[in-house]
Structure 1
Amino acid sequence: MTGEQNGPLSEASIEAMVADAVAAIAAASSIAELKTARLAHSGDKSPLALANREIGRLTPDAKREAGQRMGAARARVTAALAEREAEVASAELAATLASERVDVTLPVSRTPQGAIHPITGLIDELSDVFVAMGWEIAEGPELEAEWLNFDALNIHGDHPARGTTDTLFVEPVTAHQVLRTHTSPVQMRTMLDREPPIYVVCPGRVYRADEFDATHVPVFHQIEGLCVDRGITMAHLKGTLDHLARSMFGDITTRLRPNYFPFTEPSAEMDLECFACHGASVGNPELDCKTCRNEGWIEWGGCGVVNPRVLRAAGIDTDVYSGFAFGMGIERTLMFRNNAADMRDMVEGDVRFSRSLKGEAR
Structure 2
Amino acid sequence: MKEQLETLRQKALAELATCSGQAELNEWKVKYLGKKGELTSIMRLMGQLSEEERPQIGQWVNQVRAKLNSAFEQKELRLKQAELEQRLKSESIDVTLPGRTVQVGGIHPLTRVIQEMEQIFIGLGFEIAEGPEVETDYYNFEALNLPKNHPARDMQDTFYLTEEILLRTHTSGIQVRTLEAKKGEVPVRIIAPGRVYRRDDDDATHSHAFTQVEGLVVDKGIRMSDLKGILLAFARRMFGAEQQIRLRPSYFPFTEPSTEVDVSCYACQGNGCRICKHTGWLEILGAGMVHPRVLEMAGYDSETYTGFAFGMGVERIAMLKYGIDDIRHFYVNDVRFLKQFANRF
TM-score (norm 2): 0.67
Residue 190 in 1 paired to residue 190 in 2? no
2:228 is equivalent to residue 213 of structure 1: no
Deviations 1:178-210 (A, max 9, x none): 111111001111001012210000111110101
Match for residue 293 of structure 1 among 269, 273, 277:
277
Aligned: 1:113 with 2:101 = no
Contact 1:200 1:226 in 2 (8 A): yes
Q: Which residue of the partner structure matches residue 166 of structure 1? A: 157
Return the alpha-carbon distance in structure 2 between the equivalents of residues 260 and 163 of structure 1: 14
1:184 partner amino acid: S
- Per-residue deviation at 1:109? 5.4
* Unpaired stretches in structure 1, ≥5 consecutive residues: 1-106, 282-288
Letter paired with 2:130: E
CA contact 1:118–1:359 (8 Å) conserved in 2: no
Q: Secondary structure at the match of 1:258?
A: strand
- SS of corresponding position for 2:217: strand
What is the identity, as a one-letter code, of the residue corresponding to 2:171? T
Which residue type is aligned with residue 134 of structure 2? L
Q: Which stretch of structure 1 is more off in the superposition, 107-116 or 127-136?
A: 107-116
**3-state SS, counterpart of residue 205 of structure 2:** coil
Cα deviation for residue 292 of structure 1 reads: 1.7
| Structure 2 CA distance for aligned equivalents of residues 168 and 340 of structure 1 | 28
Indicate how the Cα distance of structure 1 residues 127 and 165 shifts in structure 2: closer, same or farther if over 3 A, else same. Answer: closer
214 and 206 in structure 1: CA distance in 2 versus 1, 3 angstrom threshold: same
**Aligned equivalent of 2:319:** 335
Match of 2:253 in 1: 262
Length, aligned pairs only:
246
Provide the residue aligned with 1:346 in structure 2.
330
In the alignment, which residue of structure 2 is the partner of 1:324? 308
- Cα contact 1:263–1:306 (8 A) shared by 2: yes
Report the identity percentage.
49
The equivalent residue for 1:239 is: 229
Q: Distance in 2 between matches of 1:223 and 1:147?
A: 20
Map 1:23-42 onto structure 2 (within 5 A).
Answer: none
> Distance between the aligned counterparts of 1:334 and 1:215, measured in 2?
12
Superposition CA RMSD, Å: 2.1
In the alignment, what sits opposite 1:273? 264
Contact 1:115 1:351 in 2 (8 A): no
1:55-95 CA-partner distances (Å, limit 9, x unpaired):
xxxxxxxxxxxxxxxxxxxxxxxxxxxxxxxxxxxxxxxxx
- Report how far residue 297 of structure 1 moved: 1.4
1:132 Cα deviation from its structure 2 partner: 1.3
Provide closer, same or farther for how the CA distance between residues 210 and 160 of structure 1 changes in structure 2, counting only shifts above 3 A: farther
> Which amino acid in 2 is paired with 1:342?
D
What SS does the aligned partner of 1:247 have?
helix
Q: Secondary structure at the match of 2:248?
A: strand
Q: Tell me the equivalent position of 1:202.
A: 192
Aligned twin of 2:137: 146
User: Is residue 121–residue 359 contact of structure 1 (8 Å, CA) maintained in 2?
Assistant: no
AA partner of residue 169 (structure 2): T
Displacement of 1:165 in angstroms is 7.6
Q: Distance in 2 between matches of 1:259 and 1:165?
A: 16
Q: Which has the larger radius of gyration?
A: 2
Q: 2:134 and 2:317 mapped to 1: Cα distance?
A: 25
Q: What does residue 10 of structure 2 align with?
A: none
> How much does 1:163 deviate?
4.9
User: Which stretches of structure 1, 4 residues or more, deviate above 4 A after TM superposition?
Assistant: 107-111
Q: Which residue of 2 aligns with 1:181?
A: 169
CA pair 197-293 structure 1, distance change in 2 beyond 3 A: same
Alpha carbons of 1:359 and 1:124: their partners in 2 closer, same or farther (altered >3 Å)?
A: farther
| Distance in 1 of aligned mates of 2:285 and 2:102 | 40
Which among 302, 306, 309 is matched to residue 290 of structure 2?
306
Amino acid paired to 1:115: G
Q: 1:111 to 1:346 in 2, by over 3 A?
A: same
Is the CA contact 2:271–2:280 (under 8 Å) kept in the aligned structure 1?
yes
Question: TM-score w.r.t. structure 1 length?
Answer: 0.64
- Provide the residue aligned with 1:230 in structure 2: 220
Task: Output the CA distance in 2 between the equivalents of 1:265 and 1:164.
Answer: 17
Equivalent residues of 2:152, 2:253 under 8 A apart: no
Q: What's 1:284 paired with? A: none
Aligned match of 1:84? none
- Cα displacement string for residues 20-47 of structure 1 (whole angstroms, at most 9, x for unaligned residues): xxxxxxxxxxxxxxxxxxxxxxxxxxxx
In structure 2, what is the equivalent of residue 43 of structure 1? none
The whole-number CA distance in structure 2 between the counterparts of 1:116 and 1:278 is 29
Contact 1:169/1:178, CA 8 A, preserved across alignment: yes
- 8 Å contact kept, 1:168–1:179: yes
